Chains A and B, each alone.
Chain A
Amino acid sequence: MTLHIVSKSPFSTQALSDCLESFADGDALLLIEDGVYALQHKALQDLQNTEIFCLAADSEARGLLPSAISCSVEAIDDARWVHLCTEHNPIVSWFR
């Protein structure tokens, strides 16, 4: 299964929409840096049965609370991020 890492805001780039266009069943999504603004984007709510993670340090820094979002997003730390990388293959970076 692929781990998709999105690091730019969906409100200013195509990163999230291109990523979702390339999403296969069972893939996981991790939001980091400005990618965490996707928590405010409706595209995320439409994602059913998908594992979605965000880097807690990045979302907290920007005043975003994953718990406040209706869909289930899990806030993780760096160690968990590393663990996710070992569990998934390939890893695709959506940095623009």
Chain B
Amino acid sequence: MKQRTLALCRAAPYGSALAREGLEAVLASAAMEQEIDLLFLGDGVFQLLDHQSPMAIGQKSLRRNLMALPMFGIEQLYVARGSLAQRGLTPEEIQIPGAEITLVDQPGNLIAAYQCVLSF
């Protein structure tokens, strides 16, 4: 049986290195043909927010990197509906071209389907 991994993305993009480190782990896994999915939860949903321009704080755009996910074969992204609503965001504000965003009402049921969960 092929092992499926879920990356749980809970960190906002620039306040710590966690979001970027997590994405790099995901990209490395995908580049190695591993099956990996992403679930954005809590402040992690801010990673997807459109119109990020972090040049003035000396960082590269995490959203630009996320937009590369379809190139790595990751075309489905999971987002906790409750986290999005709690932060006043709409699905239109977090679209990634080439990827389908699936809003999840019960993150626990999604998590249960994986053999391995990495938290970032």
Contacts and interface: CB of A to CB of B under 8 A. Distances in A.
| Contact present between A and B (CB < 8 A) | yes
Interface of A: 1-2, 14, 18, 21-25, 27, 89-96
Contacts of A27: 108, 112
Interface of B is mostly: mixed
B107 A90 contact: no
Contacts of B43: 14
B61 to A, nearest CB: 23
A18 B45 CA distance: 13
Interface of B: 6, 8, 10-11, 18, 41-43, 80, 82-83, 106-109, 111-112, 114-117, 119
Given A89-B115, A90-B114, A95-B119, A24 B80 contact: no
Contacts, number: 51
Given A90-B6, A94-B119, A95-B119, A21 B112 contact: no
B80 A90 contact: no
With a 10 A CB-CB cut-off, give which of A18, A22, A27, A96 has the most chain B CB atoms: A22
Nearest to A19: B108
Contacts of B83: 21
B10 A96 contact: yes
B117 A21 contact: no
